[in-house]
């Protein structure tokens, strides 16, 4: 637990999390197969300019490197994960959300979805990543694209992303419909839906 760590490390570890030096693999169902000749990622919904990009076009948008901590709702945290990808705000700037757009749903292979507020998605540390640790992601960790949202529990960092839909309302994602918290802030221990306050779906 964080109380046994040096103060400069402990402050980075949310309550009731333990530090690990590995990267456990957690997902439900089969790992999708990637076919680069028949693959694209889209940006749709309440935007002025919907986008459809091939994998090569996406990677050419202008990659950045991000170092951030990662916190899994199952109780482990890893520090200083090194990601390579495109900031989500680059996609938003190209698609130009309409004024009524307040939330974003990540749409992924395997019928998986993840919901976040547009405000949260526009943070500087939110990227759509293809790389980790200096190499491409492995398929079981989300290749070809994984959303990375460091300020939320890891289930919000959806694997196998195929698109983003901008919406007016907060639409619960795959795990949120199965009892997980709609926001998922690890430092507030927002793990489960029964911890939500009234009107949680309307909040950022």
Answer with the residue of higher pLDDT: 204 or 136: 136
Give the residue among 122, 115, 126 at the shortest CA–CA distance from 170: 115
Quick one: DSSP state of residue 105?
E
pLDDT given for residue 5 in this prediction: 79
DSSP calls for 80-98: EEEEEEEEHHHHHHHH-B-
Which residues pair with residue 147 across a beta bridge?
Answer: 128
The pLDDT value given to residue 76: 96
pTM above 0.85, yes or no: yes
Residue 8 DSSP class: H
Q: Please say whether the dihedral angle defined by the alpha carbons of residues 134, 140, 143 and 145, taken in this order, is positive or negative.
A: negative
**Does the CA dihedral 120-161-129-141 come out positive or negative?**
positive
Residues 6 or more apart from 38 whose CB is under 8 A from it? none
Long-range contacts of 134-137 (CB under 8 A, 24+ apart): 134/82, 134/84
- The predicted-structure confidence for 42-92, as pLDDT tens digits, reads as follows 999 999 999 999 999 999 998 999 999 999 999 999 999 999 999 999 999
Domains, in order of start, for the chain: 37-64+86-187 (3.90.420.10)
- Asked if pLDDT for residue 1 goes beyond 60, the answer is no
């Amino acid at each position: 637990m964080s109380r046994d760590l040096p103060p400069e490390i402990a402050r980075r570890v949310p309550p009731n999390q333990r530090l690990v030096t590995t990267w456990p693999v957690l997902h439900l169902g089969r790992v999708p197969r990637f076919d680069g000749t028949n693959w694209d990622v889209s940006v749709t919904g309440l935007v002025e300019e919907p986008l459809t990009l091939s994998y090569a076009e996406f990677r050419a948008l202008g990659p950045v490197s991000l170092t951030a901590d990662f916190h899994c709702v199952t109780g482990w945290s890893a520090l200083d994960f090194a990601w390579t990808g495109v900031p989500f705000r680059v996609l938003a700037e190209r698609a130009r959300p309409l004024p009524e757009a307040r939330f974003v749903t990540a749409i992924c292979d395997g019928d998986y979805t993840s919901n976040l507020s547009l405000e949260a998605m526009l943070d500087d540390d939110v990227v759509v990543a293809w790389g980790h640790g200096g190499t491409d992601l492995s398929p079981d960790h989300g290749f070809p694209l994984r959303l990375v949202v460091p300020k939320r529990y890891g289930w919000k960092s959806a694997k196998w992303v195929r698109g983003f839909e901008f919406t007016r309302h907060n639409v619960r994602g795959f795990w949120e419909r199965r009892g997980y918290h709609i926001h998922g802030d690890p430092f507030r221990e927002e793990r489960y839906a029964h911890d939500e306050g009234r009107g949680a779906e309307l909040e950022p």
